[in-house]
Amino acid sequence: MANRTPTLLPRIQRILEELGEQIRLARLRRKLSAAQIAERAGMGRTTLVKIEQGHPGVGIGQYLNVLKVLGLENDFLLVAKDDELGRKLQDANLNTGRRAPKRNKPL
């Protein structure tokens, strides 16, 4: 199976790049080299560089390994914690079933 880099919308790519930059700054604040973080996270230095650049082809597990080494793994739990839209939909009592409604078969 060939490795393919997912295509992202520019806005989403900027978010990923910002995340990578924040990870890089956290590493630098701790005065740790890229080689040290990569070794502790069980990955190659080039993978860490891709994470810090916001490359979309890096798996989410790799991001979590780096966050764990930096002591920031619990920050990942904050993603979608305050789901305003979801709460508004829930409060509006809209039907948000687990499955889409069944379609009638044509006769």
Domain boundaries defined on the chain:
10-91
The answer to whether residues 76 and 67 touch, using CB atoms and an 8 Å cutoff, is: yes
How many CB atoms sit inside 10 A of residue 89's CB?
13
The answer to whether residues 17 and 53 touch, using CB atoms and an 8 Å cutoff, is: yes
How far, in Å, CA of 28 to CA of 22, rounded?
10
What is the residue-level pLDDT of the chain in tens, covering all 107 positions?
456 778 889 999 999 999 999 999 999 999 999 999 999 999 999 999 999 999 999 999 999 999 999 999 999 888 888 888 888 877 777 555 677 667 777 76
Q: Which fold has domain 10-91?
A: 434 Repressor (Amino-terminal Domain) (1.10.260)
Contacts with 4 (C-beta within 8 Å, 6 or more apart), sequence order: 57
How far, in Å, CA of 95 to CA of 102, rounded?
14
CA distances 87 to 11, 38, 91, 96, Å, are: 24, 39, 6, 11
Confidence at residue 97, expressed as pLDDT on a 0 to 100 scale: 62
- The residue to which tokens 């604040």 are assigned: 29
